[in-house]
Amino acid sequence: MAARTVVLAVFIAGMTTLVASAQAPKLNDVTSRLSAYLDDYGRQLSAVVAEELYRQSIGTRPTDTPIVVDSSKWVPTLGHRDRVLRSDYALVRAADKDAWVGYRDTFEVDGKPVRDRENRLQRLLTTGTTADAARIAQESSRFNLGNTLITRNINVPTLVLEMLHPRNRSRFSLNKSAEETIDGTRTWRLEFKETERPTFIRNTNGRDRPSRGYIWVNPTNGEVWQTRLAWDDLPKGTIEVTYGHVPNIDALVPLTMSERYDDRMTTLVGDASYRNYRRFQTGARLITR
C-alpha cells in the first residue's frame, strides 16, 4: 500500500510539471500581448487627465567627486537649485501621426500660477490641433530645471509605451531578462535595445541618442507595471516609471516618475507623482489643419 502511494505521488508530480511546462508562455506570446495592450492603451486613456506634482533639483560638484548612481544618496556639494512644478498630464490623439502622445500643461511653478493657461488643456482635448499640442508641450518644457544641462521634452511618463508601440516595435530588440513580482503580480522583466538609426530620440543638433532599458510586463495579459529608460552618452540619463490601478480606470496608469541625468560636474534629479485622475466626458481626438 505504501509503495502504491509513492508511485501515485510521483505520477501526479510529473503531470503537474508537464502541465506547467505546457502553459508557460513563450517570449513571442508575451510580446504579442504587450503589443495588443499598447495598441489599445491610448484608447483606454483618451480624455483622461492627471495632476502631476514634479520636484526637480540640480547641483554641481567638484570634478574629482564620483558620480553616484543612487539618487537618494546624492548630495550636491556646490551650486544647488530646486523647482516644483504642478501640471496637468494627458494622452492626446495626434491624428496625423496615428499616435497617442503624452502632453504636460504646467499651471504652477514654485507656487506661482502660470499666466494665460486657463482651461487650455480642456480646449486642446476637445478642439485642438497637433500644432496647439506641440506649442503647449514646448511652453511647458521651458519650465524644466537644468535646460542648460539637457533641453528635454522626453520627460513624460508614457514615453516608453510609445517607443515600444507596434508602430515602432521593429526599432527595438526585446528579450526576457528576469521574472519579478510587483504589487502581488508576477511580471516578466523584458530588456529592450534600440537597433535602428536614426534613433527615436535625438539631441537638438540631430545626433543619435540610442536608447535601452527594461519594461515589466504581466505575461498573461500584456499589462505594463514599470519601465526604465536609459542612455549611455553624456549626459547619462535614466527615466523610471511605476504604474498601478486607480478608481474608475481599467488600464494601469502612471503613479510615479523618477529621472536622473549626469555629466562630469552636474547632476539633475526629478521626481513626479500623479493623482486626481479624471475623465472628460467628451472625445479627445486631436485634429490637424
DSSP result, 95-161: GGGTEEEEEEEEEEETTEEPTT-TTHHHHHHHH-BHHHHHHHHHHHHTT-TTTTT---S---TTHHH
pLDDT of 237 strictly over 50: yes
CB 168 within 8 A of CB 200: yes
CA 76, chain centre distance (Å): 26
The answer as to whether 12 is a domain residue is: no
Specify the DSSP class assigned to residue 67: P
Q: Which residue has the cell 483606454?
A: 44
Highest mean pLDDT among 47-51, 100-104, 181-185: 181-185
The average pLDDT across 137-142 equals 70
Better pLDDT: 277 or 63: 277
pLDDT of 248 strictly over 80: yes
The answer as to whether 150 is a domain residue is: yes
The answer as to whether 223 is a domain residue is: yes
Q: Give pLDDT, residue 171.
A: 95
The answer as to whether 7 is a domain residue is: no
The answer as to whether 212 is a domain residue is: yes
Better pLDDT: 111 or 235: 111
How big is the chain, counted in residues? 289
- Confidence bin at 149 (pLDDT 50/70/90): low
Rounded Cα gap, residues 146 and 164, in angstroms: 28
- Confidence bin at 256 (pLDDT 50/70/90): very high
pLDDT of 127 strictly over 70: no
The average pLDDT across 144-164 equals 82
CATH code of the domain in which 200 resides: 2.50.20
Q: Which residue has the cell 503580480?
A: 185
List, for residues 16-34, the tens digit of each pLDDT value: 444 444 478 899 999 999 9
Rounded Cα gap, residues 167 and 65, in angstroms: 43
Rounded Cα gap, residues 286 and 219, in angstroms: 32
pLDDT of 13 strictly over 90: no
Per DSSP, the chain holds a count of helices (H) and strands (E) of 5, 12
Q: Give pLDDT, residue 116.
A: 61
Task: Report how many domains make up the chain.
Answer: 1
pLDDT of 86 strictly over 60: yes
| Cell numbers linked to 113 | 500660477
Rounded Cα gap, residues 287 and 174, in angstroms: 33
User: pLDDT > 90: what percent of the chain?
Assistant: 44
- Confidence bin at 129 (pLDDT 50/70/90): low
Q: Domain of 260?
A: 26-286
The answer as to whether 119 is a domain residue is: yes
pLDDT of 99 strictly over 80: no
CB 285 within 8 A of CB 96: no
The average pLDDT across 30-42 equals 94
Which of 102-116, 157-171, 267-281 shows the lowest mean pLDDT across its residues? Answer: 102-116
Which of 75-79, 80-84, 191-195 shows the lowest mean pLDDT across its residues? Answer: 75-79
Better pLDDT: 162 or 18: 162
List, for residues 199-233, the tens digit of each pLDDT value: 988 877 778 889 999 999 999 999 999 999 998 78
Q: Give pLDDT, residue 75.
A: 44
- Confidence bin at 138 (pLDDT 50/70/90): low
The 10 Å Cβ neighbour count of residue 149 is 19
pTM attached to this predicted model? 0.80
Residue 202's closest CA among 247, 166, 171?
Answer: 171
CB 239 within 8 A of CB 257: yes
List C-alpha distances in Å: 94 to 45, 137, 142: 14, 13, 22
The answer as to whether 149 is a domain residue is: yes
Mean pLDDT of the chain: 79
